[in-house]
Amino acid sequence: MGGGFAGLQAARKLARAPVTITLLDRHNHHVFQPLLYQVATAGLSPGDIASPIRWILSKQQNVRVLLADVAHVALAKRQVYLEDGVGIPYDFLILATGAAHSYFGRDDWQSHAPGLKTLDDALAVRRRVLLAFEQAERQPDPERQRHLLTFVVVGGGPTGVELAGTLIEIARHTLRREYDTIDPESARVVLIEAGSSILGTFPKPLRDSARRALRRLGVEVWENATVTEIEADAVHVGGDRVPAHTILWAAGVAASPLARTLGVPLDRAGRVIVEPDLTVPGFPNVFVAGDLARFTHQTGNPLPGVAQVAKQGGAHAAKSIRRRLKGQDALPFHYRDMGNMATVGRAAAVADLGWLQLTGFVAWLFWLFVHIFFLIGFRNRVSVLLQWASSYLTYQRSVRLITGPSPDSDVTPRNSAGC
Amino acid sequence: MGGGFAGLQAARKLARAPVTITLLDRHNHHVFQPLLYQVATAGLSPGDIASPIRWILSKQQNVRVLLADVAHVALAKRQVYLEDGVGIPYDFLILATGAAHSYFGRDDWQSHAPGLKTLDDALAVRRRVLLAFEQAERQPDPERQRHLLTFVVVGGGPTGVELAGTLIEIARHTLRREYDTIDPESARVVLIEAGSSILGTFPKPLRDSARRALRRLGVEVWENATVTEIEADAVHVGGDRVPAHTILWAAGVAASPLARTLGVPLDRAGRVIVEPDLTVPGFPNVFVAGDLARFTHQTGNPLPGVAQVAKQGGAHAAKSIRRRLKGQDALPFHYRDMGNMATVGRAAAVADLGWLQLTGFVAWLFWLFVHIFFLIGFRNRVSVLLQWASSYLTYQRSVRLITGPSPDSDVTPRNSAGC
C-alpha cells in the first residue's frame, strides 16, 4: 500500500470489513501534498501539513502500520518483499506508491532543479531559496547578485504557478527592508511552460485570469517555451541561456519505480495500465490507485495525478474488496470530478468547479476553506489558519529557517564554529 | 557577534547608540534553546522556537545581519575574518559564539550519543527516537526489541532531566496502543549522572522532588554513575555494559572553537577568562558574553551557561560600549540570578527562585508562563500555547515526523521507491 491519499482512504474504508490490513510506507507520516509548496516557501512548518500515519489510524483496530521500503512485488506468489528480504503474503493488494519527479530522461537535471514531492524536498527548496537572498547580501558584484536573485520555475501547472506566485511575494513583501546591500524587490521570478498556456487543464478564462494575476505580481510568464538544457546555474530556453541561481522543477512526474517490478504493461510515465475496475490485468485481487495508475476508461484521457483521484481510487478499491468478500463482482471505477483549483500569490486564485468558475479573492477564499477542511488533524487546522491569518495581515512568513545539510558551497553552516 | 541570546540582546540594547552594528551568525535564525528538547521529542516544530534573526531586528536601523562563518579574529588588527577570507574591521567587538558539546576528549562518542545544541541536532534526535520504535515494531527477536526500546540519557542537568521525562512520557502515553508487536510502555529510560545528584545546581529539596517525580514516571535515575565508554549500541557504566539503541548526550559543553583563534588565556572548557567588565584581558574594546565567557569575579564559581547569563552579559557589553562612547569608564558586570527551573515530564517541574522554591504542578505552571513570555514572536507564543494545551489534554505529540537523512541502517527511507 502506501500512506498517501489513496492508501489511507482505502485503509479507512476497510475499517469495518472482516480483513486484516498491513499498511506499508517508507515515511512515518502522511503529507497533505497540495500544501507542500507552502512549506517550501516558508509559510508553514512540516508539522502543519503532515501527521504520523500511525496516529491517523490509531483508532482503527484491523490495521497494522509498518515503516518499510518495498523492494518488489511477486504477483504470481501473492507476496510483497521488503528491502530486508522479508516477504509479506496477501489476499488482496492495493498498490498506491505514488509518483516521483520525471526529468524526461535527463536525470542529471535533478540536482540542479529540485522538485517537490516529499517534506524533505520542500525543506531543501526552502533552504535553497532563503540562502540565495543571504548569499546575494554578501555579494558585491551586481551581476552576480542579479544571478543569485533570479528564480526559475519550470512547469506551469498548479504547483509551478503556486511556487512562482509565492516566491515573488516573498521577494516583494516579506523580505523588503530586511537587507542592506540588496533590494529583494529586484528579484526576478520566471515561470516557464512548454505548452501553449499555464494551467493547461483549466478553462481559458481561468488561464487568462491566472496569467494576468501573475504578471501583475511581477512574475515573468513564458509560454510555448521549451527547456532544452539545465546547468547548475542557468536554464536554456530555446537558444537562450537564462542565468539563474535557483531553478525549481514542477514539470513532470513518473510513477514510482516499484511498478517496473510487477512485470505488467506500463505507460510511458511508468504507470500501471489498469482495468476499468482499477485492477491489474490478469490479477483481479491487485488494485492500483492514485498516481501509480493509468486509468483512461472514463474520458479517453488518463486521470490527473491529484488528491481527489487518489482518494476516490483508494475508496473504490476498498469497496471492491468488500464486495468480493461477500461474493459480489467488482464494479467499474467512476471518477467524479469535483473541480480544480490553484492559488496565484497572495489572496488570489482560480477555481474550476465545472458548473462554476471563480477567480481572484473569492476563489482564494474558497481555496482556503477547502484546504483547511481537508487537512488531517484538528491541531493542524487551527495552526495553519492562525499562520495564514498572521501572514496575510503582516506579509510575514513565519518559518524562514535555514536548516539541514547544504547543497551549496558558499555560505555553508558547518560543524566548525562561527559567529 | 552571534545571534544567540547574548548577541541579540547586545544588538537591541545598542539600537539608539551612534554605532553601526554588524551581526554575524552562521545560522539565519535565533533558537530559543530552553525549548530545544521539545523539538527533539516531537512536541514542537522548529518554526515554533526559532525566528529569523533578520526579522527579529528588521525594525532596527543601525544593524546589518550577515549569514557567515567566522574563521578567526585578529585582535591586534581589529579585524574579524570570515571563512571566505573577507575581513571585517571593528571598533568594538562582542564575541558571543556560544558553546558546542564536549565529549571530554572522546570525540568518537559524538556519533553514538548526539547532543542538543542546534535545530539540526534536535531534528536528528527526534528522528533517532521515533525510528527506534518503528524498528522495534518490525523486530521479532524479543531481546533485540528490548535493546531498541532502551533509551539512555547521559547527564543529569536540566536538559538531561527534561529529555528523560519527555521520553518516558512518549513511550508510556503518546505511543500507547499504536503498535501491534511491541508494547511502547515496556520502553526503558535510564538517566545517568556522574555527580552525586541530578540537578546538582539546585537546592536539595528540589533535587529530591525531581528524583521522586522521575522515578514515579518510570525513569531509572542512576547517580554517582560514571560513563566510561560509549559504543554504537551500548553504554559502559563502571564495569557494566548497558545495551541501548538510543543514547543521548546532555553532559558537557565546550566553548566554540573560535576562542582558540584569539591567542588569549582560556579555561579547560575553552572559554575566554574575562575581566570583571567582561572584556578580554588587554583588549578593552572586545567583550565576551554568554557561554563563551568564563566569569568568576562574582561568586568564585563560573557563571552557568544559561539564557539569563547570556542576555545580561550581552546587555552589559552594550551598556559598556555606550558608556565608553560618551567617555565614561566601563562598569564591572554584576549578574542578577533570577532563578533556575527544570520540567520533569508531564505537568511537573522544579523552580528555585532563591527566595522561593516551587515543585510539582505549580512549578510547571510557573515554568510555562515564563517560557511563553520570553518566546520571541507573537505567532510563536500562540502556536506553542495551543500545542501544549492540545498535547496536555490528549497526550499527543503533534510533530512526530521522521524527516531528513538517516544515521541508521535498518529502516532507511531513501530515494528509491517504496510502498
A340-360 b/e with 16+ CB inside 10 Å = b?
bbbbbbbebbbbbeeeebbbe
Ranges of each domain in chain A: 5-26+68-98+256-325, 107-251
pLDDT at A118: 87
> If you measure CA to CA, which chain B residue comes closest to A138?
B66
As a CATH number, domain A5-26+68-98+256-325 is: 3.50.50.60
- Measure CB to CB from residue B55 to each of A387, A400, A416 and give the nearest one: A400
Q: Give residue A189's pLDDT.
A: 95
B69·A411 Cβ contact <8 A:
yes
Residues B132 and B149: beta-carbon distance below 8 Å:
yes
Query: By the 8 A CB rule, do B73 and A393 touch?
Result: no
Provide the shortest C-alpha distance from residue A316 to chain B (in Å). Answer: 19
Which residue, among A327, A373, A295, has the nearest Cα to A32 in the 3D structure? A373
User: Is pLDDT above 90 for B397?
Assistant: no
Partners of residue A380 in chain B, C-beta under 8 Å = 398
Q: Does domain B107-252 have CATH number 3.50.50.100?
A: yes
User: B95 to chain A: which residues are within 8 Å by CB?
Assistant: 419
What does the alpha-carbon distance between residue A148 and residue A47 come to, in Å, rounded to a whole number? 30
With CB atoms and an 8 Å threshold, state whether B398 touches A414. Answer: no
Q: How far is CA B401 from the centre of its chain?
A: 21
Beta strands per DSSP E along B26-95: 29-31, 50-52, 63-67, 70-74, 79-82, 87-89, 93-95
| Closest residue of chain A to B393, computed from CA coordinates | A379
HEC secondary structure over B214-261:
HHHHCCEEECCCCEEEEECCEEEECCEEEECCEEEECCEEEECHHHHH
What was the pLDDT predicted at A377? 59
Decide if A178 and B55 are in contact by the 8 Å CB cutoff: yes
Q: Are B201 and B159 in contact (CB under 8 A)?
A: no
Q: What is the pLDDT of residue A380?
A: 63
Q: How confident is the model at residue B407 (pLDDT cuts 50, 70, 90)?
A: very low
- Beta strand spans in B105-239 (E): 150-154, 188-192, 220-222, 227-231, 234-237
The CATH number that domain A107-251 falls under is: 3.50.50.100
Q: pLDDT for B15-72, tens place per residue?
A: 999 999 999 998 988 888 888 888 888 888 888 888 888 888 888 889 999 988 899 9
Is a pLDDT exceeding 60 seen at residue A416?
no
pLDDT value, residue A393? 63
- Provide the pLDDT for residue B406: 47
pLDDT bucket at A419, cuts 50 / 70 / 90? very low
Q: What is the CATH number of domain B5-98+256-325?
A: 3.50.50.60
Contacts with B396 from chain A: Cβ below 8 Å: 55, 379
Nearest CA-CA distance, residue B101 and chain A, Å = 11
Query: Do residues B171 and B245 touch, judged by C-beta distance below 8 A?
Result: no
The answer to whether A162 is a known catalytic residue is: yes
Q: Which residues of A touch B46 (CB under 8 A)?
A: 45, 399, 401, 403
B290-304 tens-digit pLDDT:
999 999 888 888 888
- Cβ distance B119 to A84 less than 8 Å, yes or no, reads no
Give me the mean pLDDT over the B385-411 stretch.
59
| Statement: residue B383 has pLDDT above 70 | no
For B331-382, write each residue's pLDDT tens digit.
999 998 888 888 887 778 888 887 888 888 888 888 877 877 776 655 566 6
- β-strands A87-89, A79-82: how paired? antiparallel
Distance CA A167, CA A344 (A): 11
Q: Which of A25, A97, A405 is closest, CB to CB, to B405?
A: A405
Query: ipTM, 2 decimals?
Result: 0.72
Q: Do the chains contact at B387 and A379, CB–CB below 8 Å?
A: yes
Q: Using CB atoms, pick whichever of A138, A400, A418 lies closest to residue B70.
A: A418
**Residues of chain A contacting residue B26, judged by C-beta atoms under 8 Å apart:** 413-414, 418-419
How many interchain CB pairs under 8 A, A with B?
Answer: 207
Residue of B nearest to A42 (CA): B47
Mean pLDDT, rounded, for A80-100: 91
Q: What is the pLDDT of residues A382-399, one digit of tens each?
A: 666 666 666 666 666 656
Q: Indicate which residue of B134, B143, B162, B185 is catalytic.
A: B162
From A61's Cα to the closest Cα of chain B, the distance in A is 10
- Specify the pLDDT at position A1: 61
Q: For residue A79, give how far its alpha carbon lies from the nearest alpha carbon of chain B (Å).
A: 13
Contact yes or no for A400 and B179 at CB 8 A: no
Higher pLDDT, A389 or A411: A389
Share of chain B above pLDDT 90, in %: 39
Residue B130 has its nearest CB partner, among A28, A58, A411, at: A28
pLDDT for position B42: 81
Closest CA of chain A from B69, distance in Å: 5
Output the pLDDT for position B409. 33
pLDDT tens-digit map of A260-276 = 999 999 998 889 999 99
CB B118 within 8 A of CB B99: no
Contact B26 A413 (CB under 8 A): yes
- Give per-residue burial for B42-56: e unless 16+ CB within 10 Å, then b: bbbbbbbbbbbbbbb
Closest chain A residue to B137 measured between Cα atoms? A66
Is A25–B418 a contact, with Cβ atoms under 8 angstroms apart? yes
Residues paired with residue A157 on neighbouring β-strands, in sequence order: none
State yes or no: pLDDT of B99 exceeds 50.
yes
| Annotated active-site residue in A162, A169, A193, A275 | A162
In angstroms, the separation between the Cα of residue A11 and the nearest Cα of chain B is 14
Chain B environment of A412 (Cβ under 8 Å): 69
Asked if B119 lies within 8 A of A403 by C-beta distance, the reply is yes
Mean pLDDT value of segment A138-155: 91
Q: Quick one: average pLDDT of B177-182? A: 79
Query: In the structure, what pLDDT confidence band is assigned to residue A75 with cuts at 50, 70 and 90?
Result: very high
Answer with the residue of higher pLDDT: B389 or A47: A47
Residue of A nearest to B84 (CA): A410
The amino acid at A131:
L
Distance CA A185, CA A168 (A): 8
Q: Classify residue A57 by its DSSP letter.
A: T
pLDDT for residue A383: 66
- pLDDT confidence of B394, banded at 50, 70, 90? low
> Of the ranges A208-222, B201-215, B401-415, which one carries the lowest mean pLDDT score?
B401-415
Q: How confident is the model at residue A237 (pLDDT cuts 50, 70, 90)?
A: very high
Comparing CA positions, the residue from B386, B302, B306, B303 lying closest to residue B34 is B306
The answer to whether the beta carbons of residues A43 and A31 sit under 8 Å apart is: no
Contact call for A180 and B131, based on CB within 8 A: no
Flag if A27 and B402 touch (Cβ within 8 Å). Answer: yes
A38: CB partners within 8 A, 6+ apart:
A44, A49, A166
Residue A272 distance to chain B (closest CA, Å): 15
Q: Which residues in chain B are contacts of A125 at CB distance < 8 A?
A: none
Phi, psi of A358 (to 5 degrees): -115, 150
In this structure, what are the phi and psi dihedrals at residue B188, rounded to the nearest 5 degrees? -115, 130
